[in-house]
Amino acid sequence: MSDPRKNDNEIDRFILKDAVNEAKDMGREGMQHPSTGPVLTGAAIGAVAGAVLPVVSWPVGLIAGAGFMLYKRIRP
């Protein structure tokens, strides 16, 4: 039986393409897309964390939180 995730390097090469496609789908479908809610929640949590931390500002936290949740939706 072959493992579909046998070669992780080949799978991870296309992460940017997958992220762009997921973001486009989220833009088209809006709140109806299953990834929109978790990504917006991650962005909000990141913004709050960025506002609380002295070195990081809220826009950096917002982008980091949204990026992390988008990554977790693409590569669980």
User: How many domains are contained in the chain?
Assistant: 1
Asked, for residue 63, whether it belongs to a domain, the answer is yes
Task: Kindly state the average pLDDT of the residues 21-39.
Answer: 92
CA separation (Å) from 52 to 24, 61, 69? 31, 10, 20
Q: 37 in a domain, yes or no?
A: yes
Q: Is the pTM of this model over 0.85?
A: no
Asked whether residue 55 is domain-assigned, the answer is: yes
Domain of residue 30, residue span: 8-74
51 in any annotated domain: yes
Distance between CA 76 and CA 69 in Å, rounded? 10
Q: Is residue 1 part of a domain?
A: no
Q: For the packed helices 36-52 and 15-29, what is the interaxial angle rounded to 10 degrees?
A: 100
pLDDT in tens, 32-63: 999 999 999 999 999 999 999 888 898 999 99
What's the confidence (pLDDT) of residue 75? 84
